[in-house]
Chains A and B, each alone.
Chain A
Amino acid sequence: MAKHNTPMMDELEKGPWPSFVTDLKRQAEKSPQCWDILGQMELSFKDKITHWKHGGIVGVFGYGGGIVGRYSDVPAQFPGVAHFHTVRLNQPSSKFYNTTKLRQVCDLWEKYGSGMTNMHGSTGDLVLLGTRTEHLEPLFYDLTHDLNWDLGGSGSNLRTPSCCLGKARCEWACYDTQAACHGMTMHYQDEIHRPAFPYKFKFKFSGCPNDCVASIARSDLSVIGNWRDNIRIDQAAVKEYAAGNYVANGGAHGPKSTLDIQKDVIDLCPTGCMWLEGGELKIDNAECTRCMHCINMMPRALRPGVVQGATILCGAKAPILDGAQLATMIVPFIEMDPNNDFEQLVEFIESVWDWWMENGKNRERLGETMQRVGLPTFLKVINVDPIPQHVKEPRSNPYVFWAEEEVEGGFERDVKEFRARNAM
């Protein structure tokens, strides 16, 4: 495995940004198979087609996920990537690594693989890129015995759950995202390691509606911290913001930025539910849609309320079929109590799974099944009462469908006679 001539790949080193081509070249000094990655990519650019074949019977004993088989379709030309399987590791909650563990995993991967890793790309996992089938079992043995570390999910499994920094670092966290993420990871080990579903399934946990793990865009079941009472207001701090004594947005726009409360906060509230009254900031909390804008702008004056829990959304996905889709709010508020092992969440998850395993088509994400049957049917089967907030946009579909048994007197009633007794 020697260096190939790769003029097109070399172009990707020219910009001002970090370049994976430079990284690959550096790693190739230690792991010569990396020259073949570059060579095969150059050929793919030239042929305008991928030269990776995917899939196969690849894995470690007892596990039906965590390792994804990849093979070159031009192995004679690039023997270093004839097999190039990827290994997914279950990252620690909130991705809190220590340097010892990172060094260990790098050493392990230089021993058994290419040394190339993907730290939390779009899958969210820590992915080790490129090894041969015969290295999988020894790698898995060392990983589990020496590093005390496990594989993550892939295929039609529950994928490695992930969460934001939560209460470890963030005052806005409305529940302990790490406890929930770790708790669900342990509770659903079988679903993570063995295929269970018509297709992949992802949970992600954010502590507040800022949703730092983007769960609303990329998880089938997204758990977003929320409060059900009122935003806490410190009126003295509001006055300091008004006077320009506190930096706007916690300093995110520079140390000197100040706030015009009317223009920067009140006028930008999406539901128009805030106003100033005699220098005091007022919020009509029933209308607040929990967008976090005002709290983000004035963190010293505003905080989430004290009755805290989470909102559950379902059905996000990134494209393969039908294009990208954001999640739909399903349960406005549930309790998130680590002391009862997140009982309410577990109950909800299982009602969704039971239905989707039965009704989802092969390779259909939860969001696609929901779209196919329609939200009213989905709400009915998982036993959630419809509320106005379930309607995506007012007037986009003004029709409400009633089942006959929900209409007083049914469809055959005598309206005139009914109105005589029940005025409009």
Chain B
Amino acid sequence: MAVSKEELKKLILEKAINAPKPQLYVKDFYECDPDAKPREVKNAANELVKEGKMDFWSSGSTTMYAAKGRAKNEETR
């Protein structure tokens, strides 16, 4: 049984805050709810960005996610 969207967002954010690496691929969040479809996980992670709780970190070719303030930005380094 897949968990609710709010529950999934909570699990994703917890993982983003506690994972040893600050930047995570969307696939790293799949394990937050193995029953959720990849697209549901992606949508939940993107909502967290819209809410200002996570950031997108992008190299230009790849995009990763980080809990707000965890990933280093060039300008605040």
A residues adjacent to B (C-beta < 8 A): 53-59, 62, 64-65, 68-71, 83, 133, 154-157, 194-200, 320, 353-354, 357-358, 361-363
Please tell me if the beta carbons of B58 and A155 are within 8 angstroms of each other in the complex.
yes
A361 to B46, CA, bound (A): 20
B46 with A194: CB separation less than 8 A:
yes
Known contacts A56-B57, A156-B63, A358 near B38 by CB under 8 Å:
yes
Interface of B is mostly: mixed
Interface centre among B27, B66, B71 (most CB of A within 10 A): B27
Extra inter-chain contacts (15) besides given A55-B59, A361-B27, CB under 8 Å: A54-B59, A56-B58, A56-B75, A57-B56, A57-B71, A64-B46, A155-B58, A156-B62, A157-B63, A195-B26, A198-B26, A199-B61, A357-B39, A362-B25, A362-B62
**Which chain A residue lies CB-closest to B41?**
A357
A–B complex contacts, Cβ < 8 Å, 10 sampled: A56-B57, A57-B55, A57-B66, A64-B49, A64-B58, A83-B75, A194-B46, A354-B39, A357-B39, A357-B42
> A311 to B17, alpha carbons, bound, how many Å?
45
| Contacting pair B38 A357 (CB below 8 A) | yes
Task: Name the A residues within 8 Å of B63 (CB-CB).
Answer: 64-65, 155-157, 195
The answer to whether the Cβ of B4 comes within 8 Å of any Cβ in the partner chain is no
Known A-B contacts A64-B49, A195-B63, A354-B38; the reply to A59 vs B58 at CB < 8 A is yes
The 9 closest A-B pairs by CB, nearest first: A155-B63, A357-B38, A195-B63, A55-B59, A68-B60, A155-B58, A156-B63, A64-B56, A362-B25
B41-59 residues at the A interface, CB under 8 angstroms: 42, 46, 49-50, 55-59
Give the residue name and chain of the A residue nearest to B46 (CB).
A194
User: Across the interface, which residues of B come within 8 angstroms of A71, CB to CB?
Assistant: 74
A55-B57, A155-B59 known; A198 vs B27 contact (CB < 8 Å): yes
A53-B74 contact in complex given A155-B56, A198-B25, A198-B26, C-beta closer than 8 Å = yes
Q: What is the minimal beta-carbon distance from B19 to any residue of chain A, in angstroms?
A: 14
Shortest beta-carbon distance from A76 to chain B in Å:
14
Q: Which residues of B contact A59 (CB under 8 A)?
A: 56, 58
Scoring B residues 6 to 23 as 1 if CB is less than 8 Å from chain A, else 0, what string do you get?
000000000000000000
A320 contacts across to B, CB distance below 8 A = 61
Nearest B residue (CB) for A198: B27
Q: Which residues of B contact A55 (CB under 8 A)?
A: 57-60
Q: Are B74 and A196 in contact (CB under 8 A)?
A: no
Mostly, the A contact residues are loop
Find chain B residues with CB under 8 A from A198 CB. Answer: 25-27
CA distance A320 to B61 in the complex (A): 10
Say whether, besides A64-B46, A156-B63, A354-B38, A58 and B58 are in contact (CB < 8 Å).
yes
CA distance A156 to B60 in the complex (A): 8
Most A C-beta atoms less than 10 A away, residue of B57, B58, B59: B58
Does B27 contact A133, Cβ atoms closer than 8 Å? no
For A54, A156, A199, A320, the residue with the greatest tally of chain B CB atoms inside 10 Å of its CB is A156
A62 to B38 Cα, complex, angstroms: 20
Which residue on chain A has the smallest CB distance to residue B71? A57
For B62, give its contact among A53, A196, A363 (CB under 8 Å): A363
Judge whether B60 and A155 touch: CB under 8 Å. yes
A286 to B37, CA, bound (A): 42
Q: How far is the CA of A320 from the CA of B71 in the complex (A)?
A: 25
* Most chain A beta-carbon contacts within 10 A, residue among B26, B37, B61, B74: B74
Cα separation A320 to B74 with both chains bound (whole Å):
24
Question: How distant is the Cα of A133 from the Cα of B75 in the complex, in angstroms?
Answer: 9
Are B39 and A196 in contact, CB atoms less than 8 angstroms apart?
yes
**A62–B48 CA distance with the chains assembled, in angstroms:** 10
Task: Report the bound CA distance from A57 to B72 in whole Å.
Answer: 8
With both chains docked as a complex, state the minimum distance between the C-beta of A14 and any C-beta of chain B, in angstroms: 32
Given the complex of chains A and B, what is the CA–CA distance between A157 and B59 in angstroms?
12
User: CA separation between A320 and B62, bound complex, in Å?
Assistant: 12
In the assembled complex, which residues on chain B have CB atoms less than 8 Å from the CB atom of A199? 61-62
Contact between B46 and A195, CB atoms less than 8 A apart = yes
Which of A83, A361, A362 has the most C-beta atoms of chain B within 10 angstroms of its own C-beta?
Answer: A362
Give which listed residue, B27, B38, B39, B59, contacts A362 with CB less than 8 A: B27
Tell me whether A196 and B42 are in contact (CB under 8 A). yes
CB B10 to nearest CB in A, in angstroms, measures 20
Whether A154 contacts B60 by the Cβ 8 Å rule is yes
**Given A64-B46, A64-B49, residue A56 in contact with residue B74 (CB < 8 A):** yes
